[in-house]
Amino acid sequence: MHAEFAIEARGLSKDFGKLRAVSSLDLTVPRGQIYGFLGPNGSGKSTTIRMLCGLLTPTTGSATVLDTEIPGDSKLLKPKIGYMTQKFSLFGDLTVFENLQFIAEIYSYPVADRRKRIDELLERYDLVEQHQQLAGTMSGGEKQRLALACAVLHHPELLLLDEPTSAVDPQSRRDFWENLFRLAGAGTTILVSTHYMDEAERCHRLAILDHGVKVADGTPQELQGDTGMNVIEVIADNPYAARGAIHDLEEVASVTQLGIRLRVLIPDSYDDPRELVERALASSNMTASTSMTAATLEDVFVAVTLKPPRKST
Amino acid sequence: MKPLSRIMAIVKKEVRQLRRDRLTFGMVVGLPVIQMLLFGYAINTDVRHLGTAVANQAGTHLSRQFIAELKQTQVVEITDFVETANDLDALLRRGEISIGVFIPRDFDRRVGQQSRAAVQLLVDGTDPTILGVANQLRTMPFGFDSAHRETGAQQLIEVRPFYNPERRSPVNIIPGLMGVILTMTMILFTAVAIVRERERGNLELLINTPLSSTELMVGKVIPYIVIGLLQLALILGVGRLLFDVPVRGSVLDLYLAASAFVAANLALGLLISTAATTQFQAMQMMVFILLPSILLSGFMFPFDGMPTFAQYIGEVLPNTHFIRLTRGIMLRDAALTEMLADLLYLIGFTVIAMIAAALRFTKRLD
């Protein structure tokens, strides 16, 4: 019987020596959805993905991945998952076609259908022209398409993608996500890690990781509606000076500059946050306009990764 | 049949990669040929054409005959004729000659007497090899006229070298060199095989597929067994062509022995590969195997002459056993069945090293 969730992790932790890379992570990933891991470098995204596919043994905790227990014999799991590594991991000295052929052989894809499947993938991932090219000589976007084609060749139920778009241009990223939505639409569960906000926003659900701890999870909408912060946008002639005026207010959780705009986060336990900001600006003789605005995912990220007594630059 | 087809997938991939890797491909052919030429021509332990000067104070017919025969050995090359022993001394001191031949006035009488040496060889003793050659010269028979020969035959011991009557080094060196070349190339190829994929990130992909450790190991070894046997053919061919090295025994036996030896080295290379984290480290570890394989295997120095401790180390090395097999098969016309112990050692070594490599290589990153 299929479990309801593709992945269910219970208190997963991983230590590397003294460093706790992942700390008691609970996770439920529904089938057929794109689930995002958002977090900075070193937040434990890769380590979690590697534990989930059996590459790393959890120090404590356990998980059920596609009805297979982790830790345990991950042999049965391998044919059911597709894995795309952060670094390009196909063979640079084999051609595109040879790489696909090799993967098909390794996964024992039925011989009769092999050629058809490879042609299909070349077509789908726009690699027909490059099929005789050595993989190592291709552009970042092409390599990424090949890596995805190889990861999905054997029709995996679960796709684990470790920062798949970190080395490609925005257009390639858009195309890549189109492909992910198509795969999810066909029933594939996708777990993808990223440090791009716009990508995180595209996920059905996402978890924000910080220093190995899951600090928030939910749909992007839920997370944006539930920051516990008011967001005030300030447009100032001299935003950097304005920032200085606001930053030291003890009510202010964070100030982020975006060009001439400032986004000011103030916990919703304070009343009249907008007035608070305006008063601070006026007392420093700043000309600026302020407005209340909805939280973006970036605001969410800033809010949940704030160190609890806030005192930083 | 899934394991088999997966192994074949690895084999195919390795061959394709190898074909595109010009440097490695060049090594397959270049390394054996260069080493053969180096060892065959340059490292020549039998010494010929040693610079020699003669002081012939007798000046008799018999003494001239002696000089003529000395020339014929080709060990000496007579460059100077001088008057006195002091002249020879001077030439030796200046390093112009290696051997001085002093023939005293009463040479003819001494040849007949037997009690006293007839000729004095003044030798440059700084090089022990030359001293050894001179010692051999002393025992060489000189066929003067029949009357003298009878007395001389008793006095002078004839040295007749077996299996290599011409005493040419290549005949002895090349069977051993085969082992050294194969050790070098085979371990080199496989030692970097796994490490390279780890460095390039390929391994993270591979261990996430249904491919098992054993399948990966076996698939990686097979192409190199073929390459090893091709190298063997190359070495035998060049050896025959340039150095006239014979294969007195069965060629099939030689290939069977070589197959076991190649497999043993490949397995050892894989084991190194699982222990090293970078290609450079793998290279460093290879040197630790290669040096004793050259020095302690009986290739450079006679095995029996080594200290017991060194012999123990030598016994562990596959090359030692392979050199015994090749010298036996190629030079003494021995059958493989007469040297089963060495063959079995190589097979056992392969099996143990393969198992150790597969065990060490876990499909995990931690």
CB-based contact A152:A159 (threshold 8 Å): yes
Chain A neighbors of B21, CB-CB under 8 A: 93
User: What's the mean pLDDT in B273-281?
Assistant: 86
The reported pLDDT for the residue numbered B155 is: 40
Structural domain contains residue A139: yes
CA–CA distance, B325 with B315 (Å, rounded to integer): 13
Confidence band, pLDDT 50/70/90 cuts, at residue B203? confident
**Average pLDDT in the B9-25 region?**
86
Task: Using the 3D structure, point to which of A174, A203, A223 is the last residue of a domain.
Answer: A223
Structural domain includes residue A310 = no
Q: Which amino acid is at A106?
A: I
Considering CB atoms only, which of A55, A91, A92 is closest to B364? A55
CATH code for the domain of A170: 3.40.50.300
Q: Are B224 and B189 in contact (CB under 8 A)?
A: yes
Both A139 and A52 in a single domain? Answer: yes
Q: Cα–Cα distance between A125 and A242 in angstroms, integer?
A: 48
Is residue A218 in some structural domain? yes
**A contact test, residue of B199, B205, B214 with most A CBs within 10 A:** B205
Same domain for A55 and A185, yes or no, is yes
What angle is formed at CA B202 by the lines to CA A162 and CA A123, rounded to 5 degrees? 70
DSSP string, B182-201: HHHHHHHHHHHHHHHHHHHT
Q: Do residues B21 and A93 touch, judged by C-beta distance below 8 A?
A: yes
Looking at the fold, whether A102 and A164 belong to one and the same domain comes out as: yes
Res B116: pLDDT: 66
List, for residues B120-176, the tens digit of each pLDDT value. 878 776 665 666 777 777 666 666 544 454 444 334 333 333 445 455 566 667 788
Which of A55, A75, A89 lies at the smallest CB-CB distance from B202? Answer: A89
Q: Which chain B residues touch A93 with a CB distance below 8 Å? A: 16-17, 20-21
Q: Answer yes or no: do A13 and A118 share one domain.
A: yes
Q: Which of B200, B201, B208 is closest, CB to CB, to A55?
A: B208
Q: B210: which chain A residues are within 8 Å (Cβ-Cβ)?
A: 75, 78-79, 106-108
Final residue of a domain: which of A223, A249, A264? A223
- pTM: predicted TM-score of the whole model, two decimal places: 0.76
Last residue of a domain, one of A199, A223, A247: A223
ipTM field: 0.80
pLDDT tens string for chain A (313 positions)? 466 789 999 999 999 989 999 999 999 999 999 999 998 888 999 999 999 988 899 999 999 999 899 888 888 899 999 999 888 999 999 999 999 999 999 999 999 999 999 999 999 999 999 999 999 999 989 999 999 999 999 999 999 999 998 878 889 899 999 999 999 999 999 999 998 888 999 999 999 999 999 999 999 999 988 888 899 999 988 888 888 888 888 889 999 998 889 999 999 888 888 998 998 888 888 888 999 999 999 999 988 888 654 444 3
Average pLDDT, chain B: 80
**Which residues on chain A are in Cβ contact (under 8 Å) with B5?**
105, 108
Q: Are residues A60 and A126 in the same domain?
A: yes
A82 plus A181 within the same structural domain: yes
Judgement on whether residues A42 and A171 belong to the same structural domain of the protein: yes
Does residue A149 form part of some domain? Answer: yes
The answer as to whether A175 is a domain residue is yes
Q: Do B365 and A83 make contact, defined as CB atoms within 8 angstroms?
A: no
Residue B39 and residue B42: Cα distance in Å, rounded?
6
Cβ count near A284 (within 10 Å): 13
Give chain A's domain count: 2
Q: Is residue A309 part of a domain?
A: no
Residues of A within 8 A of B17 (CB-CB) are 91, 93-94
Give yes or no: residues A184 and A89 share one domain.
yes
Identify whether residues A285 and A187 lie together within a single domain. no
pLDDT at B322 over 70: yes
| A160 φ, ψ (degrees, to nearest 5) | -110, 120
Co-location of A124 and A219 in the same domain: yes
- pLDDT value for A126: 93
Cβ contact B211–A106 (<8 Å): yes
Q: Domain residues of chain B, as ranges?
A: 16-43+169-360, 50-155
In chain B, which residue's Cα lies nearest the Cα of A134? B20
Both A198 and A177 in one domain: the answer is yes
Contact B2 A93 (CB under 8 A): no
User: At residue A179, what is the residue type?
Assistant: N
Residue ranges making up the domain that contains A128: 5-223
In a domain, A197, yes or no: yes
The yes or no reply on domain B50-155 and CATH 3.40.1710.10 is: yes
Q: Quote the CA–CA distance of A307 and A265 in Å, as a whole number.
A: 14
Instruction: Report whether B103 contacts B54 (CB < 8 A).
Output: yes
**Domain shared by A160 and A119, yes or no:** yes
